[in-house]
């Protein structure tokens, strides 16, 4: 299957600072990538759709000025959590659809654990 | 929008037994139904998927069935092993949804020795 990587795998930051998380499709190109947030023992909640070369589309209730998304190339999307606060501590996961046999299959990255002190 | 319900939330089975997880969806236009396995601290891993043009798909010990009329689909794991212990998520998406997935709430499967 296709491979999606994330960096860093975990990060600890102080309240008020910004953190950037990278999502890369390693062996395929992705015009669209998705960013999810997952709290302990809960399901994945879609935050936004990252579109290569254009603005991201945010889900209802997600602050676009707080969660900045940039999809500058067909293999890289970044999520920047600005002015992070303890309530932003979570597991952030990206995914990208890869075309196989004329249909799209979503592959997920390994996730980034963010802890805001 | 799409709503996916998943049951049970926790499931304990003895090694070697079968496990069944069920999901229902609300949007009749949904046509793609993947299942993901998530181990602690890791990202979800696709284990099997099914599209609406088939009713069943099998891959070794794992199978998925789809009933479009009733709008539900199920994951079947046979001959369970301890390494099958994880959280399993079902999901659904529909054409025109831009590949967006709507996830179920997850099932914690524990395979006991």
Between chains, do B34 and A97 touch, taking CB under 8 Å as contact? Answer: no
**φ, ψ for residue A83, nearest 5 deg:** 45, 60
Minimal CA separation from B57 to chain A, in Å: 16
Alpha helices in chain B (DSSP H): none
More confident site: B54 or B97: B54
What pLDDT is stored for residue B97 in this prediction? 72
Chain B interface residues (partner A, CB cutoff 8 A): 32, 34, 36, 41-46, 49, 51, 89, 98-101, 103-106
Compute the average pLDDT of residues B99-106.
92
Between chains, do B99 and A1 touch, taking CB under 8 Å as contact? Answer: no
Locate B42 and state its tokens.
């890791």
What pLDDT is stored for residue B98 in this prediction? 75
Using a CB–CB cutoff of 8 Å, tell me whether A115 touches chain B.
no
Compute the average pLDDT of residues B65-80.
96
Residue A113 has pLDDT above 70, yes or no: yes
Compute the average pLDDT of residues B32-52.
95
Residue A99 has pLDDT above 90, yes or no: no
What pLDDT is stored for residue A102 in this prediction? 63
Chain A residues with CB under 8 Å of B36 CB are 108
User: At a CB cut-off of 8 Å and minimum separation 6, what does B104 contact?
Assistant: A43, B4, B5, B6, B23, B89, B90, B91
Quick one: CA dihedral B62, B67, B68, B72, positive or negative?
negative
């Amino acid at each position: 299957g296709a491979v999606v990587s994330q960096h860093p795998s975990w990060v600890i930051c102080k309240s008020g600072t910004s953190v950037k998380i990278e999502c890369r499709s390693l062996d395929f190109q992705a015009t669209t990538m998705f960013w999810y947030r997952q709290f302990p023992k809960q399901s994945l909640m879609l935050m936004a759709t990252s579109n290569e070369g254009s603005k991201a589309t945010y889900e209802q209730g997600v602050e676009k000025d707080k969660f900045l998304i940039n999809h500058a190339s067909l293999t890289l999307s970044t999520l920047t959590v600005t002015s992070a606060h303890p309530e932003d501590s979570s597991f952030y996961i990206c995914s990208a659809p890869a075309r196989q046999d004329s249909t799209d299959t979503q592959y997920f990255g390994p996730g980034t654990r963010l802890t805001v002190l | 929008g799409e709503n996916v319900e998943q049951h049970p939330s926790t499931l304990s089975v003895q090694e070697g037994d079968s496990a069944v997880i069920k999901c229902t969806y609300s949007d009749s236009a949904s046509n793609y139904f993947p299942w993901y396995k998530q181990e602690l601290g890791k990202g979800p891993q696709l284990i099997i998927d099914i599209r609406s043009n088939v009713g069943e798909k099998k891959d070794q010990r794992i199978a998925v069935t789809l009933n479009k009329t009733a709008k539900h689909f199920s994951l079947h794991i046979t001959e369970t092993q301890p390494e099958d212990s994880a959280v399993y998520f079902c999901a659904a998406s529909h054409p025109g949804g831009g590949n967006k997935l709507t996830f179920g709430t997850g099932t914690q499967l524990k395979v006991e020795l």
